[in-house]
Structure 1
Amino acid sequence: MAGTRRVAALWCPDWPATAAAADAELPPGHPIAVLSANRVIACSASARAAGIRRGMRKRQAQSSCPEMTVVTADDHRDGRMFEPVAAAVADLAPTMEVLRPGLLVVPASGATRFHGGEENFAELLVDRIAVSGTESQVGIADELFTAVLAARSGHLVPAGGDRDHLAGLPIAELAAEPSLCGPDRADLVDLLRRLGLTGIGAFAALSATDVGTRFGADAIVAHRQARGEPGRPPSAQALPADLSVEQVCDPPIDRIDAAAFAGRRLAEVLHRHLRERSVACTILTVEAITERGQRHSRTWRCAQPLTPAATADRIRWQLEGWMTGGRSRAHHARPDSPIGMLRLVPAEVVDAGALQQTLTAPELPGGAELSERARRSMERVQGLLGGDAVRIPVRSGGRGPFDQITLVALDEEPTPERDPSAPWPGRIPHPVPTVISESPIELVDLSGQPVRVTDRGAFTTEPTTVRLPDRRDGWELRWWAGPWPTGMETGAASPVSARAQVLLDDSRALLLAYRSGGWMVEGIYE
């Protein structure tokens, strides 16, 4: 029955910027922007007042507000600095779940009765957080999703009024909180908008059958959220026995680097146990016990099942937050002695099929297992060689094959340097080469003379053979296309003035690039 269960969400606006400003000990009101892939992803209110907006390039943002401080995005900093906020809320409502740094939820029914009503409880939360110099907003509703969106406007939704509150919001709000939606939610919102559904109420009016047959699994979740229906219920299966893992720290941990290392090892142990029982964790409690017996505990909720890397990140954020007190003056939040024991307790699990991997196709036989093994291997190499030593490709925007790939460090947010959905006139057509190369070759005509590109973008003579430099033999051409002119591209070592495609007599297809008067193999089609 509506009203028997209420959820309060506490949201700290612009948390990455707030955490960065606190970490740098900047004065209140000083403009600051957080950048990722050379673009603004968060900024302070004072920076917005100066014209800074999300998505701006670094150079444009600095020219708009020269006195602004610019910092790089850092998830570990965000998590570490959020611990004093979580600790302050825990003083008022001990049971809570952290969705991400900057956002947490608490069961509101008991807390509001104890503190004299929902309005009093919300004001108390905001005032308690304001003591540490952090702005926050509180939303209360029947369901978690509604409460999170309500927190963005500081709204207390009446009991039973979730659907009515959501109906007036734009459809983009379905993807406003990444911690409560799947990775493809933005694509779903774009599709719904193109179908003419511009408000959440219009989407909620569709029948569940129509949504389930037309869209994917996350659309079903979004539809339930739009209708104000209960979210994902706890797993129907009982938690497997002995699923929690713990580690006695010998010697006790008193350094952040040692804590991070221990947390990563414990995360690997936990996920090995989860794999053995064919389950994945969605709600995790991190516990630390000091030598003197002081206990610290925090619960994290995730929309998607946790991976070993995501678990290790949350352990590190939590331990850093406890051990440094978020660099706040609340010394009571810090452990009273070195940490003697770490424990991980899965509070909710789902079937392991919900855990999707991206390094290989999980639908292939053994794909998920191979993906997980590959990722663990790369994480070990990363641990030995450093965070930037292992990089993975992310599809990016651009004209040439080098431009269309951005290499990012493993476990960093896969943010491309250039928008792949933007128009790129002159982009090489699909399919793109599967192998990228920069190997010099010679393109010659029937008489063995080099074939070049004229000022008008044509071959000087008809090409017949591709051969390696200083070699008389080569591969005859069965077919060729081009050349077509192009321009300077960011991934190239030198300007590319033309490209051509050729099919060799051994059935290999090559993408050739004409640079500085010579030809290179830029890509191989397989």
Structure 2
Amino acid sequence: MTSPLRVFALWFPDWPLRAALGPPPHPPTALVHANAVVACTASAREHGVRIGQRRREAQGRLAALRVLLHDPAKDDRVFLPVLRLIERHAPGATLLRPGLAVIRARGLARYHGGEAEAASALLGIITEAGYAEARIGVADGPFTAELAAHGSEPCTVVPAGRSAEFLAPLPVQALRDEQLAGLLTRLGVRTLGAFAALDAIEVRDRFGERGARLHALAAGADSRVPAPRPPDPELVRAVEFEPALAGADQVAFAVRQTADAVLLALDAAGVVCTEVRIDLTDDNGQVYSRSWLHPTCFDAADLVDRVRWQLEALAAESAKAPVDEARAFGGIVAVRIVPTAVDDAAHHQPGLFGSATDERLHHAVSRVQTMLGHEGVVTAAIAGGRWLADRQVLTPWGERAVAPRDPVRPWPGSLPDPVPAEVFLPPRPIGVESAAGESVGIDGRGSLSAAPARIDGARVQAWAGPWPIAERRWAADGGKKGHRLQIVDDRERAWLVFCAGGRWWAEGRYR
């Protein structure tokens, strides 16, 4: 069994406010973006100001509330010195977002004689540097460690293998998915423990890959060491400069096309990058490397930002170094972007069908459509109908999907949700046999001649039905009719099949 990945999570509460206002205490203040509160001080929360409130509502709760615009770039710049401080005492610190960094616990814990001792020592260093509000969580995996750091104690250690127990009483809002949390709350599922108790297959069918991943996190599965898909060496992109470029903005501007090339290579491979290493080579031949993590996945702008941050950090270190120790940091002659951890793109695109798509996805899909032709990329929409083939409408990317049949109208005999993820067009022949090896039949009353025992060469584990379906019975040919069954085999495949004219056909398959 794989050992849990123990990590330290260093969390700095209300970091955007610390970056904007300096060390606490702060007067009642709120940072807003797009006319909504994205951060607020503890003194403002005491008067009912909350993250997500509209600006007018927050000011209605506290007339003396100070309102400032949020500057994410400043959050990043101000956190870089803190990250350098952490790295001097705990090499390998990885930035998840400004105000949150994670470190593998094994080496640090061995050096200090234990996880609690290491956390206490690291917290003392950070507090001495002027960050008394910092919190440290130690747990199996970054997700659990971050939530442990959110506790009231300066340091919280979750014992190995106890992630599920620690997470169980926390609210589902801890998953940071407002849409899923709202739906689960309406269904009466209000804690991570209740969410984790749901059947994993049913969660995947209902919420897709992203829902399945969040379900695994709620169950403490983040405690397992990830086995990322090894990145393809062809995903690496590099650019050289002649003459060397000295300014961070110059290099960032020049590397934009390289970042776009990395994203195109990732899109072509059907993956996204969750961890990247950036190698900077100066005109003295010195190579400066650093790894960066992203909470979801990198886009081109994120890669350019990391190059700029890395250059600004190097320039700051060179400027602060003593004269007798200062190293000659020359201009940059090459930048190399190396994806070091990738994940399936399907896990990171919840809005691909059925909701608004972001600009990055639209840009990437449009490029693919240019290569494959107008109908090479299509989107799916649900239409009305009794058969799965009638309910699926495929529209070329960029065009408005128009359902030929209203899905809201009643369609007697249609299949209720969830519908199969895979639809066979046309339906494929399939064998449904009894224990005696004979084909199962259906009589005029809709009764099976025998219980299904085998399907497509596999043993039947469970089945439901049959349900009659018929349409256009007034037509000269009698219309289309049959009887449906849902069957689960011993390979954990769920089939939707129907019998028509004495033969069995696979209409779809659940995933």
Q: TM-score range by the shorter chain?
A: 0.5 to 0.7
For residue 371 of structure 1, the aligned residue among 363, 381, 393 is 363
> Is 1:343 the counterpart of 2:341 in the alignment?
no
Q: What is the identity, as a one-letter code, of the residue corresponding to 1:189?
A: A
Q: Mapping of 1:362-401 within 5 angstroms?
A: 371-372=363-364
- Distance across 2 between alignment mates of 1:108 and 1:6: 5
Tell me the residue number matched to 1:41.
38
For residue 181 of structure 2, the aligned residue among 189, 193, 203 is 189
Q: Structure 1 236/80 Cα, relative in aligned 2: closer, same or farther at 3 Å?
A: closer
Q: Cα distance, 1:195 vs. partner?
A: 1.1
Q: Structure 1 360/349 Cα, relative in aligned 2: closer, same or farther at 3 Å?
A: same
Q: What is the identity, as a one-letter code, of the residue corresponding to 1:208?
A: A
Tell me the residue number matched to 1:170.
171
For residue 215 of structure 2, the aligned residue among 223, 243, 261 is 223
Q: What is the identity, as a one-letter code, of the residue corresponding to 2:8?
A: A
Tell me the residue number matched to 1:143.
141
Q: Cα distance, 1:314 vs. partner?
A: 3.4
Q: Cα distance, 1:42 vs. partner?
A: 0.8
Tell me the residue number matched to 1:12.
12
Encode CA deviations 1:416-460: one digit per residue, 9 max, x unaligned.
Answer: xxxxxxxxxxxxxxxxxxxxxxxxxxxxxxxxxxxxxxxxxxxxx
Q: Cα distance, 1:56 vs. partner?
A: 4.6
Encode CA deviations 1:93-135: one digit per residue, 9 max, x unaligned.
Answer: 3223222122121111221111221112212322333344333
- Distance across 2 between alignment mates of 1:360 and 1:333: 54
Q: Structure 1 47/279 Cα, relative in aligned 2: closer, same or farther at 3 Å?
A: same
Tell me the residue number matched to 2:387.
none
For residue 196 of structure 2, the aligned residue among 168, 184, 204 is 204
1:356–1:368 CA contact under 8 A, matched in 2: no
Encode CA deviations 1:464-518: one digit per residue, 9 max, x unaligned.
Answer: xxxxxxxxxxxxxxxxxxxxxxxxxxxxxxxxxxxxxxxxxxxxxxxxxxxxxxx
Q: What is the identity, as a one-letter code, of the residue corresponding to 2:18?
A: T
Q: What is the identity, as a one-letter code, of the residue corresponding to 2:104?
A: P
2:4–2:223 CA contact under 8 A, matched in 1: no
2:209–2:346 CA contact under 8 A, matched in 1: no
> Is 1:127 the counterpart of 2:128 in the alignment?
no
Between stretches 60-69 and 252-261, larger displacement belongs to 60-69
Q: Structure 1 157/231 Cα, relative in aligned 2: closer, same or farther at 3 Å?
A: closer
Give TM-score scaled by structure 2 length: 0.61
Q: Structure 1 128/371 Cα, relative in aligned 2: closer, same or farther at 3 Å?
A: same
Q: Secondary structure at the match of 1:215?
A: helix
- Distance across 1 between alignment mates of 2:230 and 2:223: 19
Tell me the residue number matched to 2:73.
76
Encode CA deviations 1:55-80: one digit per residue, 9 max, x unaligned.
Answer: 45546656877887543222222222
- Distance across 2 between alignment mates of 1:334 and 1:137: 34
Q: Secondary structure at the match of 1:91?
A: helix
Unaligned stretches of 5+ in structure 2? 369-511
RMSD, matched Cα? 4.0
- Distance across 2 between alignment mates of 1:335 and 1:9: 34
- Distance across 2 between alignment mates of 1:171 and 1:286: 35
Q: Secondary structure at the match of 1:169?
A: coil
Q: Secondary structure at the match of 1:155?
A: strand
Q: Secondary structure at the match of 1:265?
A: helix
Q: What is the identity, as a one-letter code, of the residue corresponding to 1:198?
A: R
Tell me the residue number matched to 1:513.
none
- Distance across 1 between alignment mates of 2:311 and 2:352: 29
Q: Cα distance, 1:46 vs. partner?
A: 4.8
1:138–1:155 CA contact under 8 A, matched in 2: yes
Q: What is the identity, as a one-letter code, of the residue corresponding to 2:146?
A: V
Q: Structure 1 92/139 Cα, relative in aligned 2: closer, same or farther at 3 Å?
A: same
Q: Cα distance, 1:295 vs. partner?
A: 4.7
Q: Secondary structure at the match of 1:190?
A: helix
Q: Structure 1 256/359 Cα, relative in aligned 2: closer, same or farther at 3 Å?
A: farther
Tell me the residue number matched to 1:88.
85
Q: Secondary structure at the match of 2:363?
A: helix
> Is 1:314 the counterpart of 2:298 in the alignment?
no
Tell me the residue number matched to 2:252.
260
- Distance across 2 between alignment mates of 1:358 and 1:225: 21
- Distance across 2 between alignment mates of 1:264 and 1:291: 21
Q: Mapping of 1:248-287 within 5 angstroms?
A: 248-287=240-279
Q: What is the identity, as a one-letter code, of the residue corresponding to 2:159?
A: P
- Distance across 1 between alignment mates of 2:360 and 2:53: 37
Q: Secondary structure at the match of 2:157?
A: coil
Unaligned stretches of 5+ in structure 1? 176-184, 377-526
